[in-house]
Amino acid sequence: MNIIEKDIEDWARSSIPAYQFMDVTVISVSNGLYKCVIPLNKNTGNHINTVHAAFQWAAAEMLGGLIVLTKRSSKQYVPVIRSLDIEFMRPAFTDISSEAFFSEQDVEKMNSAMKNNGRYDFELSSTIKNTDGEVVAKAKGTYAVRIM
């Protein structure tokens, strides 16, 4: 993690208490890779000692926000989740990581749309993996970027 990831993580934890509660770590917000980690602990675990579904969902949902917050052309633009569908593939018996890719071309398209239209909508697919790299869930979110 470098300084931008640490700054974004600190902002997220202070602005959204759920991220502090689930002890999220922002791993990457550069080179097109957006990635965070959620540990399996007493706050995130469930009755069968796996990462609770809600925290897997939150790990996927966070990625769209990371993209907008780190790549927007102006701070007046804010991300809002419109929908997120998740398919659970197997139990998450370990910490999880959620990752998605958003290219520099995607960033240019987003900033151009926001400049020209004052808004941007996008879809983002993400993968949630356990510490062995096995896919435990797949998600697809729809995000809206608007002026606030």
pLDDT of residue 40: 98
CB within 8 A of 96, min separation 6: which ones? 37, 38, 40, 51, 55, 56, 59, 128, 129, 130, 136
pLDDT of residue 53: 98
Which residue ranges form the domains of the chain, and what is each CATH number?
3-147 (3.10.129.10)
pLDDT by residue for the chain (148 residues), tens only, comes to 578 899 999 999 999 999 999 999 999 999 999 999 999 999 999 999 999 999 999 999 999 999 999 999 999 999 999 999 999 999 999 999 999 999 999 999 999 999 999 999 999 999 999 999 999 999 999 999 998 8
Indicate the helix (H) or strand (E) that contains 57.
helix 53-71
Q: Does the global pTM surpass 0.85?
A: yes
pLDDT of residue 132: 98
Q: How many helices (H) and strands (E) does the chain have?
A: 4, 6
pLDDT of residue 2: 73
pLDDT of residue 131: 98
